[in-house]
Chain A
Amino acid sequence: MSHRAFPWFGMDIGGTLVKLVYFEPKDITTEEEQEEVENLRSIRHYLTSNTAYGTTGIRDVHLEMKDLSLCGRTGNLHFIRFPTHDLPVFMQMGRNKHFSSLHTTLCATGGGAYKFESDFRTMADLELHKLDELDCLVRGVLYIDSVITSGPSECYYFENPSDLDHCAQKPYTLENDYPLLLVNIGSGVSILAVYSENNYKRVTGTSLGGGTFLGLCCLLTGCSTFEEALEMASQGESTHVDKLVRDIYGGDYERFGLPGWTVASSFSREPEHRWDLARATLVTITNNIGSITRMCALNENIERVVFVGNFLRVNILSMKLLAYAMDYWSNGQLKALFLRHEGYFGAVGALLGLLHPS
């Protein structure tokens, strides 16, 4: 195993967010510490002593993986994110901190690794090592699931998904039980069928994803952040905007076995409040993802579905809806699974690409 020089980063530059994972070695010997250049130390201190960077960078402290052993070293894995439009600020910081003098390789994935490659070169004097985003995603998911850490289980599902108020999060062990349908909900959505670590295919995708939710919410309600949009959605009632089967048929549409509460047409009614619009947007986008996922699961003959991606961050409502939709429309055949590190798997995969180049 070749020992890579520190710092160890993995970066995933998506359409909306940049996800960064940083491995902080905790087993630095005195010898190493003396040899550690100033720049490297300064970066380590900056990242680990703060939980927010600039106005938009955030470290998800609750996701930090402590005492992780990686490539013969032990340390903590940190999870950091900031909006893609702030990437120039990040590059400027890298320049200020003389990142390029460290002669390290910066492994990056996601579309931005391609789009901003030349910017990294000119603005930060950094050469990116580009990795395929789906390779990284699959690798990241399987890795995080495989490392045993203390604390809450990585993978979980919802018990009693049919009862939105009483369904509870339960731990689940994913292990190496293939095949899996992996649904990554970022700005857009990619759906992968995973048969082993090295054998997967992209089944399909949809442009109706997290970006659509936020984009429509901004236009419809005037909000500007994902958190704001979610907060509004949690107060709203989508049935004030959507037309349900019972609104048309007065009850169930028995001829086709459609219960009265099924949404017949989204956004078909005049809304009363902005938050109803936010809620309807969330429900519409989520149900649509659920619907496409379910069809893919049937077509690919796969029964377990893992949902990841930052659309699900702090978005318990969507997770419950997905869990319910999978369970109800498949008569309990499909199981919806979720992972705590939602949006960071691409970045983790990029880090693994640095340490174990394939």
Chain B
Amino acid sequence: MAECGRVDSNTSSHTMDKSITLPPDEIFRNMENAKRFAIDIGGSLTKLAYYSTVQHKVAKVRSFDHSTKEAAGDKLYEIAVQEEVTARLHFIKFENAYIETCLDFIKDHLVNTETKVIKATGGGAHKFKELIERKLGLKVDKEDEMTCLIKGCNFVLKNIPHEAFVYAKHADSEFRFQTTNPDIFPYLLVNIGSGVSIVKVESEDKFERIGGSSIGGGTFWGLGALLTKTKRFDELLQLASKGQHSSVDMLVKDIYGGSYACLGLTGDLIASSFGKSATADKEFSNEDMAKSLLHMISNDIGQLACLYAKLHNLSRVYFGGFFIRGHPVTMHTITYSINFFTKGEVQALFLRHEGYLGAIGAFLKGAEEDNPNQYSWGENYAGSSGLMSVSPDMNPMQRARSGTFDMLEMDRLDRQLVNLPLLQDPSSYIPDTVDLTEDAQAREYWLSCFEEALDGVVKRAVASQPDIPEAAERAEKFRQKYLHKLQTLRHQPFAYGSLTVRSLLDTREHCLNEFNFPDPYSKIKERENDIALKYYEKAVKSLEELSWEDRQFALVRGVLAGNVFDWGAKAIGLFPYSYFKLVGKNTSAKVFSFKLFLMFCFSSDRPWLVDSFDQWLERLKGPPHRCALFFVDNSGVDIILGVMPFVRELLSRGTEVVLASNSGPALNDVTNSELQILTERIAAMDPVIDSALREDRLTLVQDGSSSPCLDLSRLDKVLAMLVRERQTDLVIIEGMGRAIHTNYYAMLSCESLKMAVIKNSWLADRLGGKLFSVVFKYEVPAGKPH
């Protein structure tokens, strides 16, 4: 798929361009199931929204009926690939010139006949009303522009974690993404279209236009055209970015000779916009006039926004509208103005999907009966174009290209996602440990790392569907898509918000799903679970024989030992206690050595890189925890021989345990449905686990995600409720993805334990340790007694 840039040019002539350079079926995807259309037609861009359903293959794990055990043979459970239908929102942005072609395409592909109306908003809606009605045979239903805008804004702020960003022109990364405060209200939205509207938003349904100004984007465009004879908005911005405003503006130093020190006004401050052009006998360059005009308008809007923010006591101010729409020049001048007028107290915030707000809002208005606001939605990285830099210096080709389409796809999530109630400060919680957007060195390493690992992932994907001949072809498509994503991210690391190891992993999962590889590790997981189960009783027995203190150590070592073997890690062959031996060329065939596993458990290489084991041991000598929440990681040895004995010990101490596992597959992580079966099997062997299950002291929950990492601000609502009910006072997070790549610095309001083996030499180096260094981080929040 070609790169999709955003072109915000004004096509002064409204000739219809019939030549779409991209195949439209890659743009208007899933059109056959589309319903509930909405359209937002602006001065130059059209945004189309529709709701569709996607048929997906999902791997379902099913337990065999125990009464007919023989029929099941040696198999633990049955994996069936099923078709599942999930809801997806599609948003497409394109130039108005393509509207007719696009409508034709929609008409030809629209199957759903229930659709009778199309919601429309935007200034251009009336102009194209007749065309839409004629082409699609749908009734155009106009919705209020501002209402749509606000609805759309609320939606993206709630559902897209890195939606808002601060713009910093001269920083290492232009975009600094904000963690979304779960409470998005109240905020100020400054919409800079032709004019300016300043709207105070207090809740989902309560908002008020508290002010505005007639000096807006239209003024820049209109006055700019008069002054420079340049008709195109983009060209005016280009001119402005090259000009020197000081030749046109009267600066403080032009009046004072220097600064006006006693008022703190610096010499470079503009005292009078266009103050130097009040003369008939001088010529000014177009660039300089455009720059002066841009400063004048941006400063004025910034000042008004600050005055309104102050009057209404609001600190979150979002800017949008075609004047902003990703243009670095305008974001820079607005940011500058806000900093100046509030002395840094208020930050100018911009939105990644700003251009879609109207379309999203109009869509939501029309889809109220589907209750879209009742669900959580997630940005699909595979189907979304991401934010493109429109900085002319950064990517000069992008702006010049026309005929490009920009897409946003959002998947309806099965579960409603909320914060973990045990986060110390949800508004400052950042899941990711390293922001690759800011750390160029780390970014380069990880992008290459994921690129190198791609061959292996493709192979495994093909191997997971041995009976399907076209799997290889699909896997190749997956490779192309993910490779392209990685290449895009190398140039535009901010495309989907802050770039992190988590987002790279999640993007890979989304791309795999896109090409119907729902669970490439399903068979490997099954095999390893099977092997590990065979040794469960032996492992428990070996542990029971140890003294209490030795056992506590061996239990921790067991979790670490289990965790060391991970299909995602590339250095695994180097592990000295490699209790899995690789057999032949096929890397998925392995022989498990229980002896080596036990040797690892009972040996010590302390002190570890991060080592608070002594404090943990001391704590265990005290009263038991009420309830422990354990975020588990891998299948096989990890969950069965590492985590389960550890859980068993907690249960024996009188601590209730909530085991949280992924809702959907990711790498070889154990999923909730797999864990249900494994736990039943263990319960059959182990009365401790069995009674705990029956007495509800051991509970299995899903975390709402399908990621190898863990975002504690987006967890299943049921999990959050349970955590609160059980008065959880210990959180255990295991594995590199969950405890190192994410949550390494997460502050919790109760005791926490983060355990991982660092299986990546680069990362180990970064943290000041060696490959296979152990992180054992036991933390007690300040003010709480040990």
Contact = CB atoms under 8 A, between A and B. Distances in A.
Answer whether A and B are interacting partners.
yes
A211 B249 CA distance: 9
A242 B280 contact: no
Sorted nearest first, the 6 A-B pairs with minimum C-beta distance are: A111-B255, A215-B274, A211-B272, A115-B257, A211-B275, A265-B218
15 contacts: A15-B254, A188-B271, A207-B249, A207-B270, A212-B272, A215-B248, A218-B279, A219-B274, A220-B226, A220-B227, A242-B214, A256-B208, A265-B214, A295-B311, A299-B311
B256 interface: yes
Contacts of B273: 207-209, 211-212, 215
B194 A265 contact: yes
Contacts of A224: 279-280
A65 B534 CA distance: 109
Contacts of A204: 303, 307, 341
A188 B275 CA distance: 8
Interface in B200-225: 208-209, 211-219, 221-223
Interface string A243-278: 100001000000110100011111111010000010
Contacts of B556: none
Interface stretch (B75-83, B258-266, B361-369, B604-612): B258-266
Given A111-B260, A291-B213, A15 B300 contact: no
B277 A284 contact: no
Given A219-B284, A267-B222, A287 B214 contact: yes
A132 B144 CA distance: 51
A222 interface: yes
Given A267-B226, A268-B219, A295 B146 contact: no
Interface in A184-233: 186-188, 202, 204, 206-212, 214-220, 222-224
B170 to A, nearest CB: 23
Contacts of B214: 242, 262-266, 284, 287
Interface residues of B, number: 59
Contacts of A295: 211, 304, 307-308, 311
Interface of B: 123, 144, 146-147, 193-195, 197, 208-209, 211-219, 221-223, 226-227, 248-250, 252, 254-258, 260, 262-263, 270-280, 284, 289, 296, 299-300, 303-304, 307-308, 310-311, 341
Contacts of B299: 206-207
Interface string A128-164: 0000101000000000000000000000000000000
A37 interface: no
A253 to B, nearest CB: 9
A212 B144 CA distance: 35
A256 to B, nearest CB: 4
Contacts of B252: 111
Interface residues of A, number: 60
A353 interface: no
B217 to A, nearest CB: 8
A300 to B, nearest CB: 10
A117 B257 CA distance: 10
A218 B307 contact: no
Nearest to A217: B278
A52 interface: no
A35 B209 CA distance: 70
A212 B274 contact: yes
Contacts of A134: 263
Contacts of B300: 206, 208, 288
Interface of A: 14-16, 110-112, 114-117, 132, 134, 186-188, 202, 204, 206-212, 214-220, 222-224, 241-243, 248, 255-256, 258, 262-269, 271, 277, 284, 287-288, 291-292, 295-296, 298-299
Nearest to A215: B274
Given A187-B271, A211-B250, A266-B222, A219 B276 contact: no
B467 to A, nearest CB: 59
A200 B248 CA distance: 32
Contacts of A215: 248, 272-278
Contacts of A188: 250, 270-272, 275
Contacts of A271: 226
Contacts of B222: 241, 265-269
A329 to B, nearest CB: 9
B46 to A, nearest CB: 18
Given A15-B250, A204-B303, A215-B248, A110 B215 contact: no
A255 B144 contact: yes
Nearest to B193: A265
A15 B270 CA distance: 12
A110 B271 CA distance: 12
B296 A218 contact: no
B229 to A, nearest CB: 12
Contact of A284 (B197, B219, B258, B279): B219
Contacts of A14: 255
A116 B307 CA distance: 35
Given A187-B255, A219-B289, A277 B275 contact: no
A211 B260 contact: no
A202 B284 CA distance: 33
Contact of A207 (B212, B223, B271): B271
B336 to A, nearest CB: 13
B146 A256 contact: yes
Given A218-B279, A288-B215, A299-B307, 6 more contacts: A114-B257, A204-B303, A219-B284, A242-B214, A256-B197, A284-B214
Contacts of B212: 258
Contacts of B296: 207-208, 212
Contact of B218 (A116, A117, A216, A267): A267
Contacts of A284: 214-215, 219
Contacts of A217: 278
B216 to A, nearest CB: 6
Residue with the highest number of chain B CB atoms closer than 10 Å, among A116, A209, A291: A291
A106 B272 CA distance: 27
B751 to A, nearest CB: 47
A132 B570 CA distance: 71
Contacts of B275: 15-16, 187-188, 207, 209, 211-212, 215
Contacts of B272: 15-16, 186-188, 207, 209-212, 215
Given A15-B255, A284-B214, A222 B260 contact: no
Residue with the highest number of chain B CB atoms closer than 10 Å, among A202, A211, A269: A211
A288 B213 contact: yes
B278 A243 contact: no
Contacts of A218: 277-280
A247 to B, nearest CB: 10
Contacts of A269: 222
A226 to B, nearest CB: 8
Contacts of A110: 255
Contact of B258 (A114, A186, A210): A114
Given A212-B296, A218-B280, A206 B303 contact: yes
B218 A292 contact: no
A206 B299 CA distance: 8
A16 B254 CA distance: 10
B256 A111 contact: yes
Contacts of A223: 280
A325 B219 CA distance: 20
Residue with the highest number of chain B CB atoms closer than 10 Å, among A116, A223, A224, A266: A266
Contacts of B341: 204
Residue with the highest number of chain B CB atoms closer than 10 Å, among A207, A224, A264, A271: A207
Nearest to B284: A219
A243 B194 contact: yes
Nearest to B220: A267
Nearest to B208: A256
Contact of A216 (B223, B254, B270): B223
B215 A268 contact: no
Nearest to A132: B262
A219 B227 contact: yes
A110 to B, nearest CB: 7
B274 A211 contact: yes
